[in-house]
Structure 1
Amino acid sequence: MRILHTGDWHIGRTFHGHATLDALRGVLEAMTAQVREHDVDVVVIAGDVFDSAAPAPACYTLLTDALAALRDAGARVIVTSGNHDSAARLGFQAKLLRDGIHVLTDPRAVGRAIEIEDADGPVRFYGIPYLEPAIVRSVWPDVELRTQAQTMAHAMGLVREDLASRPGRSVAIAHCFAAGVEVTPGVEREIRQGTLDVVPLRTFDGPDYVALGHIHGRQQLEDRVRYAGAPLHYSFGEQNKPRGSWLVTMDAAGLAGVEWLELPVPRPLKTLHDTFDALLSDPVYAEYENAWVAAEYTDPTPRLEPMRALQQRFPFCATVSHAPPARPSDGRASYAERVSRARDDVELIDAFLTHVRGGEGVTDAERELIREIIDERVVAEASA
């Protein structure tokens, strides 16, 4: 059996104010061509299908077209929800989808496998939607679920219980932040927000392959535990990370091999760091004139309307920043630096309190109270 592992499509996300739907459509068409070329049997999409809980109508059209194209290419499709998705909106039409397309968003179904047969028998696919601890406590009231690690451990325990009752080849699909992963610069706070915390790698013991989503760059934590990353670049922090999917091969004994399939990059990304005049005139930068550009000019003083001038040479210049040589530091982090380093909402509040209290951050008791308030907010927003 051949399985294509993808995820983090983020349909509807903009790139510095520019729409990405057309670029993503082209990349997904290339993915569909790979499904045909490699005779893929199953495509798994590991969460964050949409970029927001309330996507625009055009986003639904793109998803419908992409899922239908993958099915027409001969593959079964299994989709799980991520933290960016609204599980209710993504899953509302699950029962109306054509045969061979499965959308898994209900935490109550965790541990129930979708079985797909090949010449060697069944392969069981266990889809685990993104599980926010504050929301799923009502699903499993007898289990302590205060962290993402506890929640994922319980979900994988249900998967292993089912596997123990009927051993065989299996694939788990989940959306989380696993231990050992390298975060993507520029999106780290997003990755960690909403009490999303680290899940130990041993949590995923059991299945032959674990298809993870949530990290935008390709990552291999073990041979059998991987992230495929996003199919499109959504941040300059991702500019040097390849785009593609994992092609997973299963034989009669289990995992037989994993191969990386590159996807096209519609428009490359490049950060340019030089004086303003050099950026405008140096021929060394000619190759980036049709790329997405993040310009950093190093002049001692800021320029007036630098974007207008830079876009004369780089029409797709998306950001510009004044980056003069750093001055000697007194060793104390500024408030802005502490905020930029915050990885989740608790650390953001801690940075603020450290600033207003003159260096004293949150206490352990305050940290626990803040987490409870954030959890209550997450539940309220989910039920609104």
Structure 2
Amino acid sequence: MRVLHTSDWHIGRTFHGVDLLADQDVVLGAIADIVAEDGVDVVLVAGDVYDRAVPSAEAVRVAGRAFRRIRDAGARLVVTPGNHDSAVRLGAFGEFTSGEGLYLRTTIDGLAEPVLLDDDHGSVAFYGIPYLEPDPARHSMGITERGHAGVLGEAMRRINADRATRDARSVVLAHGFVTGGAGSDSERPIGVGGVEQVGAAVFDGPDYVALGHLHGPQTLSERLRYCGSPLAYSFSEASHRKSVWLVDLDADGLADVTRRELPVPRPLATVSGRLDDLLSAPAYDHLVECYLSVTLTDPVRPIDGMRALRERFPYAVHLEWVPPEGKGDALRYQDAVRGRSDAEITDNFFTACRGSELSASERTVVDRALAAAAREEVGAE
């Protein structure tokens, strides 16, 4: 049996305010193409189909189209919710969709009830662990152990107990942070009391464990992997090569895992420099079609910097100003005002905010304003 491991579609997410639905539609269509090209039997989505518990109508349409493309390409789907999804909403029509080859595993009570699919070697049992919020899940499971390790450990205990009763190979879908994985800036923290990671040994037993939650592809062991998100959702992922895992199961279990890279609808890039240089230098031509994060290093903060940047870089989405070293450094308030006159405090404020001293004409305006304020204080007394 050939299985495609995906996760963290996050349909409906925006990127610094930019709608990504069109990009998501492209890359999910590429997943369907892989299904057709490589003869995939089952596609796994290990959590976070949507980016929010109540997705927009447009996000639901993109998800529905992706599911249909994958089914039309010849694969069945096993899907679990993540920490962004609503398990209740995602699983609302699970008993009806299973007849169409879409298997939704969204409940704690059903996590040890596998989807059984057959190939020439017999059955493969697919177990889906929905994202388990530790405290509610602990009470629902009737256990005293706390945290992610406690609830995931109990989930795997139940799954392994069921596995022992079956003559079948097994695959588990789970959504969480396993020790040894590397996070990125776009993942929502799931820590409880500062502890969000679980040890890899929790997942001992199955032939393959398809992990979701971390957005970078990574291998914790041959049978324990993250595929990552199909798109980059933060600039910390600019160097990721987004991909999915093609998992082959033979009569004895896990036979092979290969990586299939996904297309990049629009690359991410970061750049720094002075505004005039960025707007004119040919060296930056290759960034015109990128989602761009810009750090301006002008000594004085440019006015309407983003507007100016977008005249050349229409997909600039993030901007910050970091003046040259020694310029614009903020002082602690007490150090800034101790033993200084009003004029000196005002001068320091302007220098710290914009990286340059007051001009002569500005100095005149400020002096008049300070004198007027002083007269008002005297009159009030």
* TM value normalised by structure 2: 0.83
User: SS at 2:162's partner residue?
Assistant: helix
Residue 289 of structure 2 contacts residue 313 of structure 2 at CA under 8 Å; is this kept in 1?
yes
Structure 2 equivalent of residue 207 of structure 1: 206
Shift of 1:272: 0.5
Q: Distance in 1 between matches of 2:271 and 2:38?
A: 38
Residue 114 of structure 2 contacts residue 128 of structure 2 at CA under 8 Å; is this kept in 1?
yes
Shift of 1:159: 1.1
What is the CA deviation profile of residues 330-353 of structure 1, one whole-angstrom value per residue up to 9, with x for unaligned ones? 9xxxxxxxxxxxxxxxxxxxxxxx
Name the count of aligned residue pairs. 327
Shift of 1:324: 2.5
Residue 236 of structure 1 contacts residue 294 of structure 1 at CA under 8 Å; is this kept in 2?
yes
User: SS at 1:321's partner residue?
Assistant: strand
Is the radius of gyration larger for structure 1 or structure 2? Answer: 2
User: SS at 1:107's partner residue?
Assistant: coil
Unaligned runs of 5+ in 2: 330-381
Counterpart check, 1:133 vs 2:131: no
Mark the CA change 1:118 to 1:231 in structure 2 (over 3 Å): closer, same or farther.
same
Structure 2 equivalent of residue 7 of structure 1: 7
Deviates more, 1:272-281 or 1:212-221: 272-281
Structure 2 equivalent of residue 113 of structure 1: 114
Structure 2 equivalent of residue 261 of structure 1: 260
Structure 2 equivalent of residue 191 of structure 1: 189
Residue 191 of structure 1 contacts residue 214 of structure 1 at CA under 8 Å; is this kept in 2?
no
User: SS at 2:189's partner residue?
Assistant: helix
* Identical columns (%): 44
User: What letter is aligned with 1:105?
Assistant: T
Structure 1 equivalent of residue 297 of structure 2: 298
Residue 191 of structure 1 contacts residue 215 of structure 1 at CA under 8 Å; is this kept in 2?
no
Structure 1 equivalent of residue 33 of structure 2: 33
Residue correspondence of structure 1 range 300-315 to structure 2 within 5 A: 300-315=299-314
Structure 1 equivalent of residue 237 of structure 2: 238
Q: Distance in 2 between matches of 1:84 and 1:245?
A: 20
Instruction: Compare relative contact order (CA 8 Å, sep 6+) and give the higher one, 1 or 2.
Output: 1
Structure 2 equivalent of residue 153 of structure 1: 153
Shift of 1:327: 5.0
What is the CA deviation profile of residues 69-114 of structure 1, one whole-angstrom value per residue up to 9, with x for unaligned ones? 2111111100000000011111112122242110111111111111
What is the CA deviation profile of residues 14-57 of structure 1, one whole-angstrom value per residue up to 9, with x for unaligned ones? 11111111111111111101100000000000001110011111
Residue 147 of structure 2 contacts residue 192 of structure 2 at CA under 8 Å; is this kept in 1?
no
Structure 2 equivalent of residue 182 of structure 1: 182
Shift of 1:193: 4.9
User: SS at 2:26's partner residue?
Assistant: helix
What is the CA deviation profile of residues 205-245 of structure 1, one whole-angstrom value per residue up to 9, with x for unaligned ones? 00111000001111111111111111111111111101121
Q: Distance in 2 between matches of 1:193 and 1:154?
A: 18
Deviating 4+ runs (over 6 angstroms): none
User: SS at 2:164's partner residue?
Assistant: helix
Counterpart check, 1:319 vs 2:318: yes
Shift of 1:326: 4.7
Q: Distance in 2 between matches of 1:243 and 1:271?
A: 18
Residue correspondence of structure 1 range 279-298 to structure 2 within 5 A: 279-298=278-297
User: SS at 1:137's partner residue?
Assistant: helix
Unaligned runs of 5+ in 1: 331-384
Residue 177 of structure 1 contacts residue 191 of structure 1 at CA under 8 Å; is this kept in 2?
no
Shift of 1:167: 4.3
